[in-house]
A = this chain, B = another copy of it.
Amino acid sequence: MRAFVFLGAGRVGVVDRAIPVAGPNDAIIRTTASLICTSDVHTVSGGLPIPEGRILGHESVGVVHAVGSSVVRYKVGDRVAVNAVTPCGSCDGCQRGFTSQCGGMLGGYKFTNQKDGNLAEYFHVNDADFNLALIPAGVTDEQALYTTDMLSTGFIGAEHAQIPLGGSVAIFAQGPVGLSATIGATLCGAGLIIAVEGKPDRAALARRYGADIVIDPGVVDPVSEIMSLTGDGVDAAIDALGHQKTFEACVKVTKAGGVISNIGYHGDGDTTALSIPLAEFGLGMGDKQIRTALCRGGRVRTTRLLRLIESRRFDPTLMTTHKFPFEDVATAFRLMQTKQDNIIKPLITF
């Protein structure tokens, strides 16, 4: 099969690889469509150390090609979505309910990180009964792809925010994760959604997905603006970027008793620490909470997200700005590196 792999030191390419084989609890999926994630870019640029030759990608859907002897829920030919996070369901983290922390911190994220990813013609899924989800007939492959990472990550950011019905939320950055958090905030009943985003196309999409106000951080200071708009701050703030500056802004704009919900990856900077401004944190006694999350996986979660799409609550494919056949995946990848041409998400078809 053809696979898109890491070739070391910032280099990538399509190579030939053997089709993977399923152990007793596993499944092999024939890929029909994928999305490329900014995490793939981080990985290739050295943000996550992986061996040369490792297949990239963790946002793919497809058709079941083979199942292991213990798999009971799925059969060859089923059209399925697989989340980027594929927990075992049994370890301490999973039994405690933190399936994304399967086997240890961030351990639910196995594609590319612990084994080959799924930007390839076929891919392997551990614990298939736990992790595969049937795609309903009314949901396209392209739509289903968004449940594998973007929506699930954005939504957990909104869920963790614990926005009361009619409450207010600020969401920093409107890339695909932030846009998904904006959709999530509408689904969680926010009464005032303030998005912070400078790129006009992303700002427009944020409005379309439910943002009531979009602040351009290149024009005004978001912290002052949000305090001015709300008086005492927002009920919750979501950091969908993962920078010291956005995290700090989240702490500052959240009212006493509010929630700072982080879904940004804070591993990309040159620092080993994240700094909380003490005054706005009530000197550690302001009843503010900081929540953090990694994308949530699993069959039940994915099935619910697919149902929201099937019920036409929103259309995630507005985030698809580009489309490429798999043979041009390297071109798509370069675009994600440069973020040129107003790219949000590139769809890869097989």
* Interface presence of A24 (CB below 8 A): yes
Instruction: Produce 1/0 per residue, A175-191, CB < 8 A to B.
Output: 00000000010111101
A300 to chain B, nearest CB (A): 4
Sorting the interface of chain A by its residue count into under 10, 10 to 19, 20 to 34 or 35 or more gives: 35 or more
Q: Which residues of B contact A306 (CB under 8 A)?
A: 166
Assess the A165–B191 pair: CB atoms within 8 A.
Answer: no
CB of A273 closer than 8 Å to a CB of B: yes
Given that A164-B304, A273-B276, A273-B277 are contacting pairs, would A95 and B105 also be in contact in the complex, using a CB cutoff of 8 Å? no
In angstroms, how far is the closest chain B Cβ from the Cβ of A65?
21
Contacting pair B292 A282 (CB below 8 A) = yes
Contact with B along A264-300 (1 / 0, CB 8 A): 1111000111111111011111111111111000111
Identify which of A2-10, A96-104, A118-126 touches chain B. Answer: A96-104
Question: CA of A76 to CA of B141 in the docked complex: distance in angstroms?
Answer: 47
Q: A186-B313, A265-B284 are in contact. List 18 more A-B contacts (CB 8 A).
A: A89-B90, A92-B232, A93-B257, A101-B257, A155-B165, A166-B306, A166-B307, A189-B189, A189-B308, A239-B284, A247-B284, A262-B285, A266-B285, A273-B275, A273-B276, A273-B278, A285-B292, A287-B293
